[in-house]
Amino acid sequence: MLSKKIEQALNSQIIKEAHASNSYLSMASWCETQGLRGSASFFYAQSDEERQHMLKLVRYINETGGHALIQDIKEPKETYKSIKDVFELSLEQERGVTESINELVELTFSSKDYATFHFLQWYVEEQHEEESLFKSILDLINVAGTQEKNLLFLDKEIAGLRGKTE
């Protein structure tokens, strides 16, 4: 049985995962309009993954005697300055999610809710992987540069990188 405090904290996390999913969908759409098809497919897949993170929380809350709430989320950004801008924003977003997962982990541990503490370990691992993926893409962008002549190469590499982490 979830305490009210933990139920509320998990419900707040649902909002963050839903926002991440929408934000990646917006990035996918923008990349597609720029002709960056590899990056677009990367972000479409990333958006699906974030939706799975959200659903996992919904199911867990409901299975544990709580009520998962589907609430409004703020609109994601619509346009970006460059592909580098998109990935910088993604990494920043992932770091924010990691911080929030860490706070949840701390709360469940101090509340002796070891079942939820255990459930959250999956998110801890996932955040580590995602931060590392986005950081490696930004490293690649920094090495290759974002001049027009390198964009096609970068776009193909980005599409390929996603497959390697799954």
For the bound state, the minimum distance from the C-beta of residue 29 to ligand FEO, rounded and expressed in Å, comes to: 18
For the bound state, the minimum distance from the C-beta of residue 97 to ligand FEO, rounded and expressed in Å, comes to: 4
Please identify the residue of the shown chain whose CB is closest to the bound ligand FEO: 53
> Between residues 7 and 94, which has the closer beta carbon with respect to ligand FEO?
94
> Between residues 11 and 151, which has the closer beta carbon with respect to ligand FEO?
11
Q: What are phi and psi of 34, to 5 degrees?
A: -95, 0
For the bound state, the minimum distance from the C-beta of residue 101 to ligand FEO, rounded and expressed in Å, comes to: 8
Residues in touch with ligand FEO (CB under 6 A): 17, 20, 50, 53, 94, 97, 130
CB atoms within 10 A of CB 66: 18
Pair of tokens at residue 53 = 């993170």
| Cβ neighbours of residue 133 closer than 8 Å, sequence gap 6 or more | 161, 162, 165
> Between residues 53 and 162, which has the closer beta carbon with respect to ligand FEO?
53
Pair of tokens at residue 30 = 């923008």
> Between residues 113 and 130, which has the closer beta carbon with respect to ligand FEO?
130
Instruction: Give the burial string for 136-162 (b: 16+ CB within 10 Å, else e).
Output: ebeeebeeeeeeeeebeebbebbbebb
For the bound state, the minimum distance from the C-beta of residue 53 to ligand FEO, rounded and expressed in Å, comes to: 4
